[in-house]
Amino acid sequence: MAPRKIIIDTDPGQDDAVAILLALASPEDLDVLGITAVAGNVPLDLTSKNARIVCELAGKVDVPVFAGCDRPLGRELVTAEHVHGKSGLDGPDLPDPEMPLQDGHAVDWIIDTVRREPAGSVTLCPLGPLTNIASALQKAPDIAERVAQIVLMGGAYFEVGNITPAAEFNIYVDPQAADIVFKSGIDIVVMPLDVTHKALVTQARNDAFRALGNAAGIAVAQMTDFFERFDKAKYGSAGAPLHDPCVTAYLIRPDLFTGRHINVEIETTSELTLGMTVADWWGVTDRPANAFFVGDLDADGFFTLLTERLARL
Ligand code: RIB
Ligand code: CA
């Protein structure tokens, strides 16, 4: 079977970096057409730099990287240096990128690519705020029916919020963008905190990354050593939650994940619950299902896949 064509939209971010590495280490499964950076964990100048750092770490300097939106659709940018560090990739000491940013705006490249590739052949994989994706859908509504699927990290139901009591970071940063995406009619798979908080880098799993001995394995161990501090302090977690790699792993091994096809709506006005994903997990409304909302995973299977693939880089 031919590898699946994907566009990774991202705000690296240590967990984004691991998701990108997993994708680039899996050419038999995934054809990464390009990477589009968005403002999120850190400002756009850093996310677009970090995306290239990760491509070079993977030895894949031919992957085109584009800079996208530098702020959300309708509010000021909220960043997460308190989680990811000032650089967004704190932990390892990685060199500045030599590969260039591509000319042109990421949103235009997403539109052109989805229009150019056969209809139904491109999957969008947002790992950060949905600003670039929503902007592309607003600018070119015709692409909605051409996109094969959107597999995104964002939201929560049982886990509720990690940036406010009610909201997960990616959705909270740009609720208007999320509302556009979830109302687009595109086939959506959601990796919420409900599942990503079960993908924890325990010490044994971190040791396995480091034991790979290659640059990617050691860097991932160093990234997750840094990145785990926020969740250990807040939740008492056993290690760093690998939020974004759940997206890439799902594309490679969907059988590792379980969930429900339900209705998900986004709170876009209330100050108290702005950015909340109101997920009808229990089917108590007659609102139409619009997303496959993942609730659980085979964590050992996930980490076995991730570790095996990182060993290839
Ligand atoms: O809430 C977790 C999400 O926010 C992840 O994608 C992380 O990288 C940050 O973007
Ligand atoms: Ca992210």
| Sequence-ordered alpha helix ranges (H) in 120-214 | 131-139, 169-173, 175-182, 193-196, 203-211
- Nearest CA to 67 out of 56, 55, 54, 51 is that of 51
**CATH code: domain of residue 116:** 3.90.245.10
Q: Tell me the C-alpha distance between 185 and 145, whole Å.
A: 8
pLDDT reported for residue 163: 95
Mutation choice for ligand 1 from 14, 15, 82, CB with most ligand atoms inside 8 A: 15
Q: What is the position in ligand 1's atom list of the atom closest to the CA of 163?
A: 1
Question: Across residues 63-78, what is the average pLDDT?
Answer: 97
Give the domain extent around 106.
4-310
List pLDDT tens digits, range 240-283: 999 999 999 999 999 999 999 999 999 999 999 999 999 999 99
- Tokens 């060199």 locate to 95
Going 58 to 190 to 134 to 114, the CA torsion angle's sign is: positive
The rounded distance, in Å, linking the Cα atoms of 191 and 237 is 18
Residue 1 has pLDDT above 90, yes or no: no
Residue 47 Cα, ligand 1 centroid: separation in angstroms? 12
pTM of the prediction?
0.98
Task: Output the CA 195–ligand 2 centroid distance in Å.
Answer: 15
Q: Is the pLDDT of residue 214 over 90?
A: yes
Report the sign of the C-alpha dihedral through residues 153, 157, 161, 166, in that order: positive
The pLDDT of residue 237:
86
Pocket of ligand 1 (CB under 6 A): 11, 13, 15-16, 40-41, 127-128, 153, 162, 168-170, 243-244
pLDDT value, residue 230: 86
Total domains, the chain: 1
Whether residue 82 lies in the annotated active site: no
Over residues 284-310, the pLDDT tens digits come to: 999 999 999 999 999 999 999 999 999
Give tens-digit pLDDT for 77-108.
Answer: 999 999 999 999 999 999 999 999 999 999 99
Closest residue (by CA) to atom 10 of ligand 1? 128
* 45 residue type, one letter: D
Cα 170 to averaged position of ligand 2 atoms, centre (Å): 7
